[in-house]
Amino acid sequence: MALQLRYAVIATITLALAGCSTESGEETDGTDDALTGADGWTAIGFGIGGNTAGSGSNILITYGGYTARDQDSRAWAMALAHSPSFASLEIGPVYAARGPRDAGYGAREIGNSKLVAALGHQVAAAQFIIVAGHSSGAFVADELFTEATPDIRSKIVYFALDGGTQALNSTLISEMKGVYFVNAKDSAKGESHNASSMRSLHSEFHGSHLFTVDATGSGCSSGATWCLHDTLITTRPHNPNMFDLADDYEQFGGARKVVTSYVDQAIKDRVLAPIVAAPPIVSTPPADPAAPMNPAPMDPVPMDPPPPPDEP
């Protein structure tokens, strides 16, 4: 199937956003001037911010779902980057995109072209680029894949988190380092909203991976697929009946931990290879030229005298 639009639209809402569209469809609102805010985030393009999580050269990009604000996607990105699962991955640059204006991303307003330009200066030093697209954020991630240069695509490890696709095809997937379709299941409460779509996409695209997050103990109501939809982000969603991106993307702590089991699986699969520090080189000190070539002979060890012979 050429077009995979497998996503249940949350609602039909028209949002009035300030700004105007460029010819490519991307919005401009003054954020394209690479201004850095007090929180350390720099505006890269419309709806996309950049930051740094460490001194590494590998890259993390998150695409929030429909209704996710800048601060929501950014909080989720940093929670991932600083989680134990990412400790060995040497993440440096981090980018986060807000959710699309409409659930199907028809407006194409997010500044992916600006992100591609930024990645062009960083890709050579990176071993991999982790891209996580949750829900309809997966449609925004699609745009990155189609606009990225081959050297960027070849380093992308993509996690479609209970989302869908409008652009992925066998060629694009073969050009990436790895692609995972990820859903969630609580053994007592049910599956995430787009679980079946993730299975279908995996079946269609050979070479992709399917991973199911164990969401047991989520606190979701039985059959609450939209609550389980957020177990791709947090181990315990705030609303037991519905998604709540504002809280679930930002509020971690205690029983609510950022979900990273899909990254753990990619590490186990060696699709994401952790960066292991080389063992220290132990050098042998040079020989003292004044030292004698042969060691001095040791004094013989005295032996006990033999016992006297028996008298006749």
Range scoring the smallest mean pLDDT among 7-16, 31-40, 57-66: 7-16
Range scoring the smallest mean pLDDT among 8-12, 105-109, 261-265: 8-12
Of 255, 280, 276, give the one whose Cα is nearest residue 87.
276
Kindly report, residue by residue over 140-188, the tens digit of the pLDDT. Answer: 999 999 999 999 999 999 999 999 999 999 999 999 999 999 999 999 9
- Three-state secondary structure of 240-293: CCCCCHHHHCCCCECCECECCHHHHHHHHCCCCCCCCCCCCCCCCCCCCCCCCC
Kindly report, residue by residue over 237-278, the tens digit of the pLDDT. Answer: 999 999 999 999 999 999 999 999 999 999 999 999 876 655
- The pTM of this model reads 0.81
Domains and CATH numbers, the chain: 23-268 (3.40.50)
